[in-house]
Structure 1
Amino acid sequence: MELPEAVKTWSQFSHPLIMWVLLALSVYTLYLGIQYRRARTGSAENIKKDKGKLRDKHYALSSILLALVIFGNLGGMAITYINNGKLFVGPHLLVGLGMLALFATSAALVPWMTKGNDLARNAHIVLNVGVLGLFSWQAITGMQILLKIIGSLGGGEAA
């Protein structure tokens, strides 16, 4: 089944748009995690009363973020394959796949974290800070790829 050219062309812009939104959502999720950690370890009563709400919000948003990042990653690969008949194996793809592995590993630590395991908590934080750093790098390289695609729409060679 061949997709119409307009769908193939405009679909290339959905992955970068979705991933930029998810990058912003990742930063907000990090903020919630920091606030929860402060509430969990703090002594001020006004901070401690928000602990459960912060935990639930961080957990729910993280679950949604994990699912959307997986679909965004797979969607980007699918769009590339549909438009080019192949995947371009390079740093952007490999780092994206690595991010999925780190993200999933971080999520897998949650059962131990809920039991008070500080090693799991620290590993969760380190993995997610790493993911956020890689995600930021992906945003930059993704924009470079997008600019090549835009350039090819003007009659140049496909990216």
Structure 2
Amino acid sequence: MSPAIPEAVKVWSQFFHPALMWVLFALTLYALYLGIKVRQVRAAAGDEKKELIKGKFNVKHFQIGSLVLALMVVGSIGGMVVTYINNGKLFVGSHLLAGLGMTGMIAVSASLSPFMQKGANWARYTHIFLNVVLVGLFAWQAVSGVQIVQRIISKM
């Protein structure tokens, strides 16, 4: 016998995933910016490099990237749980499938960190490629997610 979830919680819980994902999208763009700065540090020389190193962009990129990974996994699972609780099923469509693909992509991208730390360029280029695709998918997810939120609001 499972306890019933109050209706107000069920209704308002539907907005947790979209809000989290917009914050996550902003963090993802910030991680992209930091990644670009890391590349600038690698390409710089002399005094310019010394000055850029002070920004500790590599540490910040790793920390924000780790946070993005954690929030994406939790946010993806949370979105599916809330959808299931409110509808008794998941809606298998492009938004869900792209989101699951993005979650897998970010996990693979993060798993390349040990190789990148050892200087493997193939890992760097794979990491960059996966994350550029991820940002593109994330932008599309934002649009399709807003459409889903509009449908939820219209049924309230």
What is the TM-score when the length of structure 2 is the normalising length?
0.94
Say whether the 8 Å CA contact 1:40–1:48 is kept in structure 2: no
Say whether 1:22 aligns with 2:24.
Answer: yes
Specify which of 84, 90, 107 is matched with residue 110 of structure 2.
107
Say whether the 8 Å CA contact 1:40–1:51 is kept in structure 2: no
Q: CA deviation at 1:49?
A: 4.0
Identical aligned pairs, as a percentage? 53
Comparing both chains, which one has the higher relative contact order based on Cα–Cα distances under 8 Å and sequence gaps of 6 or more?
Answer: 2
Specify which of 125, 143, 146 is matched with residue 143 of structure 1.
146
Alignment partners' CA distance in 2, 1:73 and 1:129: 19
Aligned partner letter, 2:21: M
Alignment partners' CA distance in 2, 1:49 and 1:116: 22
- For the residue of structure 1 that corresponds to 2:155, the secondary structure is helix
Alignment partners' CA distance in 1, 2:59 and 2:51: 13
| 1:57-98 deviation line (CA, Å, top 9, x unaligned) | 100111111001100110000000000011111100000000
The equivalent of 1:35 in structure 2 is 37
Q: CA deviation at 1:47?
A: 3.4
The range that moved more, 47-56 or 57-66, is: 47-56
What is the TM-score when the length of structure 1 is the normalising length?
0.93
What pairs up with 1:126-141 in 2 under 5 angstroms? Answer: 126-141=129-144
Alignment partners' CA distance in 2, 1:50 and 1:42: 8
Alignment partners' CA distance in 2, 1:22 and 1:119: 27
Matched pairs, number = 153
Q: CA deviation at 1:41?
A: 1.7
Structure 1 regions of 5+ residues with no counterpart?
154-159
Say whether the 8 Å CA contact 1:106–1:128 is kept in structure 2: yes
